[in-house]
Structure 1
Amino acid sequence: MIQTAICLRQEKALNLIYGAGKWKYLMISGLDKHNNNILHLANKLAPPNRLAHISGAALQMQKELQWYKEVESIVDPSYKLDLNHDGEKPSELFTNSHKQLMEEAEKWTKGIAHSSTVVGALIITIMFTATFSVPG
Structure 2
Amino acid sequence: MVTLSRLFIHPVKSMRGMGLTHAFADISGLAFDRLFMVTETDGTFITARQFPQMVKFIPAPLHDGLHLTAPDGSSAAVRFSDFALQAEPTEVWGNHFTALIAPAAVNQCSAAFSSAMSSCAGWGRS
More helix by share: 1
More strand by share: 2
- TM-score bracket for the superposition, by shorter chain length: under 0.3
**TM-score calculated relative to the size of structure 1:** 0.22
**TM-score calculated relative to the size of structure 2:** 0.24
